Amino acid sequence: MTDINKNSIHATAKCIAAVTNKVQTASNPYIKKFTGNMTSSKDPLVQQLSLLALSELGKKIDLSGDKTVLNTVLELFNSNDEDTKINASIALGGITLGNVSVYLPTVIDLLNNKKDFQYLLLNTLKEVITQGDKTVYEIIKKQNLINFLFDYSETSNENLRQIVAECIGSLARHDLSLCKDLLLKNATSDNVHKKNTVAYSYRYFCTKDTQIEAINDLIDPLLKMTAEPDYNVKKSAIGSINTMVYNIPKSIQHVGSQFTDSLNDLCKFKPELVKEIELGPFKHKVDEGLGLRTSAFGFIDTALYHMLEKVDYGYLINLILIGITDPADDVQILSFQILNKLANLNPLPLSSHTDKLVDKFDESLTKFNKSLNSKQEGERVNDCVRSFVRVILTLTKIQDVEAVPKFRDFYQEKVLKNEKLKEIFDQLSQAI
């Protein structure tokens, strides 16, 4: 078994479990084989394969009568190999599914008492919640697990909060009525960590199968969280709103002026969030606001078609103007992408905004020319330049825009007479 491919270990374990599942009782000889591998083998991949195979068997066989199994799996929580520890938590989830009534209280007790294993044990809960059937959910309800998870959501550890959010969201996807009151209560909590966990959990229960009627009461609290002063709450909220609108387009109908004001602020570059860190003899600037801005523009890109019915055209143009002059290439590319999409969806009003766009295009072009002449930055900026030229090409196809003198002069004098831009323009034109 030492030739196991790490990338295929999960699939391999499922195959082994399927073959060795002929004896569906705790006396299955392969259970002892797998637990033996966990203790005797020094090869992490052999241990991991045995853990995952045991997990698959444990879902079908009640192993609660053999204390050795649980103790052996828990022992590997102390492994020096990170993948082995994660797979041990998955294995504990699998055997818990075999007898939830017995094992779930044990897992919760360990969570309360083994602080060093919190992440692993939460990962076990996630396995139980995401893979459980109706019977499992009934036991979870009796164990009052949802309240336990919400109590846990106030942890300051972001990694723990994310996995708690996935557990809460997965429970809500199965039975939203079980979680709705607690979601609403914690969305307005004084504890920013609880708010952040709630905001993050939406992306797990706002699926394509979710009916808008089921979440109507929950949409406004999520939208309001984009106005929170805490950076992480805002980031989690806009990311979940993106997921929600993508999966449930009708949710955009809840968008109002409070959210559009917040979105406008989320899109702005904030110099105070740029931190300078020292890496040996070098100094490196880190833009801590970049993730929030890319999430905000990502939402606009996702929701653009539906937003046209809800917000003023000029508002969208102003957001695009903010984005195309952002110092980050990722934000610029998203903004050009949004503008290109807007020009195709609803081109007629663009002519009245063309002069403002050309002014920003001029700023972008100045930056591009400097970057293209720099060997260090040339490759990095190339995608951004192509996005820019693609927008110019799209705008030339719109009669009312092409007729605007300021745009026509810019296009003819500064794009077509620029050798590099002209080359990209011709490539894109031929690809249409």
pLDDT tens digit sequence for 191-226:
999 999 999 999 999 999 999 999 999 999 999 999
Is residue 195 within 8 A of residue 230, CB to CB? The reply is yes
Question: Bigger pLDDT: 282 or 372?
Answer: 282
Tell me the mean pLDDT in the region 240-244: 96
The predicted pLDDT at position 375 comes to 58
The pLDDT confidence band at residue 381, using thresholds 50, 70 and 90, is: confident
Exposed/middle/buried for residue 124 (C-beta within 10 Å: 0-12, 13-18, 19+) = buried
pLDDT tens digit sequence for 404-429:
999 999 999 999 999 889 999 999 99
Question: What does the chain come to in residues?
Answer: 432
The pLDDT confidence band at residue 25, using thresholds 50, 70 and 90, is: low
d(C-alpha 195, C-alpha 185), whole Å: 9
Amino acid letter for position 136: V
Tell me the mean pLDDT in the region 315-332: 95
Is residue 58 within 8 A of residue 52, CB to CB? The reply is no
Mean pLDDT, rounded, of the chain? 90
The predicted pLDDT at position 239 comes to 95
DSSP string, 358-410: HHHHHHHHHHHHHHHT-TTTHHHHHHHHHHHHHHHHHHHT-HHHHT-HHHHHH
Checking if the pLDDT of 3 tops 60, the result is no
The predicted pLDDT at position 376 comes to 53
The predicted pLDDT at position 374 comes to 66
Is residue 297 within 8 A of residue 323, CB to CB? The reply is yes
Report how far apart, in Å, the C-alpha atoms of 245 and of each of 222, 236, 242 are.
12, 14, 5
SS3 state at 274 = strand
pLDDT tens digit sequence for 342-376:
999 999 899 899 999 999 999 999 888 877 666 55
**To the nearest whole percent, how much of the chain has pLDDT over 90?**
67
d(C-alpha 104, C-alpha 276), whole Å: 46
The pLDDT confidence band at residue 98, using thresholds 50, 70 and 90, is: very high
Widest pairwise Cα distance in the chain: 84
Is residue 322 within 8 A of residue 364, CB to CB? The reply is no
Checking if the pLDDT of 4 tops 80, the result is no
The predicted pLDDT at position 189 comes to 94
The predicted pLDDT at position 27 comes to 58
DSSP string, 15-78: HHHHHTTTS-STT-HHHHHHHHHHHH---HHHHHHHHHHHHHHHTTS--TT-HHHHHHHHHGGG
Least confident piece of the model among 258-262, 330-334, 340-344, 377-381: 377-381
d(C-alpha 379, C-alpha 74), whole Å: 49
Exposed/middle/buried for residue 224 (C-beta within 10 Å: 0-12, 13-18, 19+) = middle
pTM for this model (two decimals): 0.88
Rg (CA), the chain: 27
The pLDDT confidence band at residue 263, using thresholds 50, 70 and 90, is: very high
Checking if the pLDDT of 8 tops 90, the result is no
d(C-alpha 43, C-alpha 9), whole Å: 13
The predicted pLDDT at position 371 comes to 74
pLDDT tens digit sequence for 128-167:
999 988 888 888 888 888 999 999 999 999 999 999 999 9
Checking if the pLDDT of 170 tops 60, the result is yes
pLDDT tens digit sequence for 26-74:
557 778 888 888 888 888 888 999 999 999 988 988 998 888 899 999 9
Tell me the mean pLDDT in the region 258-287: 90
- Classify 5 in phi/psi space as left (phi over 0), alpha (psi -120 to 50) or beta: beta
Query: At CA 361, angle to CA 359 and CA 367, rounded to 5?
Result: 115
Is residue 306 within 8 A of residue 344, CB to CB? The reply is no
The predicted pLDDT at position 40 comes to 85
SS3 state at 3 = coil
